[in-house]
Chains A and B, each alone.
Chain A
Amino acid sequence: MSSGNRLRRRVLVAATSAAVVILASACAGTASTSTSSSAATSGTPSPTTTAPLVIGASVSLTGDFADSGKAVKAGYELWADEVNKKGGILGRQVQMKIVDDTSSPTQVVTNYQNLITQDKVDLVFGPFSSLLTIPASQVAKRYSYAFIEPAGGGPKVFAQKLDNLFFVQPAPVVKSGDVYADWILSLPKADQPKTAAYAELDDPFSAPIAENIRARFEAAGIQTVYKQVYPAETRDLTAIMSKVAAANPDVLVSGTQSEDAYSQVKSLVQLKFSPKFMFMSNGANSPVEFPSKVGVNNVNGIMSTADWYPGSPAESSPAFVAAYTAKYGGAETDIDPSSAEAFSCGQLLEQVAAKTGKIDNATIISTLHQGTWPTLVGNLSWDAIGQPTGSFSLIQWINQKLTPVFPADVAKAAPVYPKPNWGG
């Protein structure tokens, strides 16, 4: 027994040390290659530096958030290409270092640790999803990096009260549906809905939107006749939609992501119930997916919100669209808004550099806290904890096209109500 055990352990020690050696050499190898760049870029870079400006970001290329993650990656890389064509930032070529976090909170922490302390990147951008943004922003905060992030707007992100964080969308998630409430409540009293139903996906990016609208509606006297929160794994929304139909509300407010939005519409069509007003926080704002999933004849009259959308009035939008379609192919309508949001992160950097002549983290943080910054997703400004103070645009499917309808300064058509029946 004893000698067997001893032998076994010796093998173990050998194998362990082998593994450690392999690991250590792998690390040493990369460490030595990265020191060259870090030596040049560490400390406060002087404006005369010509070394590339390395920006690290971890996005989900595999796992639950892979689709959106890839869209974010496309946006970052497109911006880097564009800015480099213009000669870079302060004469420095931008180099994106994008790594995969496999949609895992553990990996995202490892990635930002590695980006900041191993590869010593100059700046970082955020990952996709609030769930990953929270642990990632903690790491960035620890090393005093500015954390410009395109896709982490959930309430708990701001509950951290970080002064280095900037959410690159017009409004925090909670308030992103406010524009709908604004519009409904701006209608003549007689036209306003009297009863409302709410169907909300239970996650940080969906239910809070509907809840916020509900609070506004109830305060204005619109009666809640049905409300249901459903878990993310609910594949079948027929049950909930049949209860919505039974409650027969004037307005259906849906806090949705994507698949559940399609599923809601399909169920309603099958149930032959068409409410007078219908708002979906997400999913319905997808120009290609939504009509293809629910049928082009079933989209008209449905409302949603957007920051960037095909035909967006933002000044930089046409150039962005041209660059995007040149690089990735496809049409304007194939562009995921997440790409535009990611692109906007870069636009902010350009402006900070142009304004201050510097591009270090402290400058970025202090500069962005003041003033208003035009981007693809609108003119952005932030409060002390990184919450944007603007609002989204209300968009509606009119004649099978997504059209901005409210507020007036972006509207290209008047809102259509009541919503036409299915198949119309």
Chain B
Amino acid sequence: MNVPALARGGVLTVALLALPLLGLEHWVLNLLIFTLMYAAMSSAWNLVGGFAGYPSLGHAAFFGFGAYFIGLWFQHHDVVSGYEPFVILPLVGLLAALVGAPIGWIAMRTRADVFAIVTITLLFVAQTLAFNLDDLTGGAQGLAMPTPPFELARFEWPFYYAMLWILLLSMALTYLSMRSKVGLSLDTVRADEDKALGIGIHVQGVKVLSFSVSVGLVAMAGGVWAYYETFVYPQFAFDPLITIGMVLMVFLGGRATLWGPILGAVILVPGQQYLAYKLGGSQLYLIAYAAVFLLIMLLMPRGILPTVADRLRRRRAVGTSSDAGPPTAAPPSAGAGSSVPVPSGGTA
């Protein structure tokens, strides 16, 4: 069962790698860059918010961290090839992960709602610092970067591949954790943290690990974003709406699933950017957006993937019940979050 999953991943990777070669127009690539960025960040957020069940609202703090890191790097280095920021990207991720570890360790002493609020506070602290440490960050004047010296025809390629790389890294890490004891531990933490503590799960350890990896990935995305925009500003780099975007996409696609966040991003980012471009002039934009959002939450509270998978599973279970026979052949689990009553396999 591992091989097809990896094969699917491989096909997707090759397809995404080949996409720019098809001669797509600049505006399509531009849209893909932002889609990949949010897909990567949602996938990363999912490690904490989905798998560990800790709804962080402060991830944009690390997005801003990455953005400012790249911005500040340019203050001390000249651009030669233009690829330098991509080369130092792993360093950005690593640093953010290191900074994130103690923050996660402290923040994750609190649970659910309080955690959400503590993390959003963290975001405002980071924003305030970016504004106030103006000797370092340029404060309210913002920080401008040199124009990336890439030729026009392939201008978007480096950014596209950098975002793709972060997405693939995030998905690979998600896949690995799902397949290992890390994922098992996170599942127990999400379901019942006190119980997990009582059966010797390294609760704090896996929580901090997932937080740290997650924010490292988000910081890298922030770095690429900053370079693409060539300008960082505290309010834009530390924007609560960036976190909200990640959260929404994960909830829309399906929490604690490998593909859910990516699906959410593929629907929401082009949807949002394209709608704003096409009908943004209409005042009803925000109302329509909120209404769609509410409908999804009320109709598919678990997200698209788990809901649809469940419906199919149920239909299938009905279809095959005639030859299913013994109760032990009850439908297999759909992973996390199932609430569909399945006939119990008898009592002892």
**Contact present between A and B (CB < 8 A):** yes
Residues of A participating in the B interface, judged by any CB pair closer than 8 Å: 1-9, 11-13, 15-16, 19-20, 23, 26-27, 30-31, 61-62, 98-102, 104-107, 109-111, 113-114, 116-118, 131, 134-135, 138, 141-143, 154-156, 159-160, 202-204, 207-208, 231-232
B229 within 8 A of A: yes
> A208–B147 Cα gap in the complex (Å)?
25
Q: Flag if A7 contacts B312 (CB, 8 Å).
A: yes
Q: Flag if A12 contacts B270 (CB, 8 Å).
A: no
> A88–B237 Cα gap in the complex (Å)?
42
Q: Flag if B312 contacts A11 (CB, 8 Å).
A: yes
**B27, B144, B309: the one within 8 Å of A8 (CB):** B309
> Apart from A62-B283, A62-B286, A109-B229, what are 9 other A-B pairs with CB-CB below 8 Å?
A1-B335, A3-B332, A7-B334, A8-B305, A105-B233, A110-B31, A138-B231, A142-B155, A208-B141
B190 within 8 A of A: no
B131 within 8 A of A: yes
User: With A9-B8, A134-B230 given, is the CB distance from A117 to B305 under 8 Å?
Assistant: no
> A142–B270 Cα gap in the complex (Å)?
23
User: With A109-B228, A113-B27 given, is the CB distance from A131 to B142 under 8 Å?
Assistant: yes
Q: Distance in Å from the Cβ of A103 to the closest Cβ of chain B?
A: 9
> A62–B34 Cα gap in the complex (Å)?
20
Name the residue among A6, A8, A154 with the largest chain B CB count within 10 angstroms.
A8
> A1–B338 Cα gap in the complex (Å)?
12
B99 within 8 A of A: no
Q: Flag if B281 contacts A19 (CB, 8 Å).
A: no
**A2, A3, A107, A160: the one within 8 Å of B276 (CB):** A107
User: With A101-B276, A110-B277 given, is the CB distance from A134 to B1 under 8 Å?
Assistant: no
Q: Distance in Å from the Cβ of A355 to the closest Cβ of chain B?
A: 29
> A117–B28 Cα gap in the complex (Å)?
9
User: When each residue 268-300 of chain B gets 1 if its CB lies under 8 Å from chain A and 0 otherwise, what string results?
Assistant: 001001101110110101100000000000000
B139 within 8 A of A: yes
> A104–B229 Cα gap in the complex (Å)?
11
> A124–B32 Cα gap in the complex (Å)?
23
B residues 305-343 in Cβ contact with A at 8 Å: 305-306, 308-309, 312-313, 316, 331-335
B348 within 8 A of A: no
The chain B residue with its CB closest to the CB of A30 is B278
Say what secondary structure dominates the interface of chain B. Answer: helix
Residues of B participating in the A interface, judged by any CB pair closer than 8 Å: 1, 4-5, 8, 25-28, 30-31, 34, 128, 131-132, 139-142, 144, 147, 152, 155, 225, 228-231, 233, 235-236, 241, 257, 259, 262-263, 266-267, 270, 273-274, 276-278, 280-281, 283, 285-286, 304-306, 308-309, 312-313, 316, 331-335
User: With A4-B335, A5-B335 given, is the CB distance from A105 to B8 under 8 Å?
Assistant: no
> A202–B134 Cα gap in the complex (Å)?
11
Q: Which residues of B contact A114 (CB under 8 A)?
A: 27, 30, 277
Q: Which residues of B contact A16 (CB under 8 A)?
A: 259, 262-263, 266
Q: Which residues of B contact A30 (CB under 8 A)?
A: 278
Q: Flag if B281 contacts A99 (CB, 8 Å).
A: yes
The chain A residue with its CB closest to the CB of B306 is A8
**B30, B235, B266, B276: the one within 8 Å of A102 (CB):** B276
User: With A15-B263, A113-B30, A118-B25 given, is the CB distance from A154 to B141 under 8 Å?
Assistant: yes
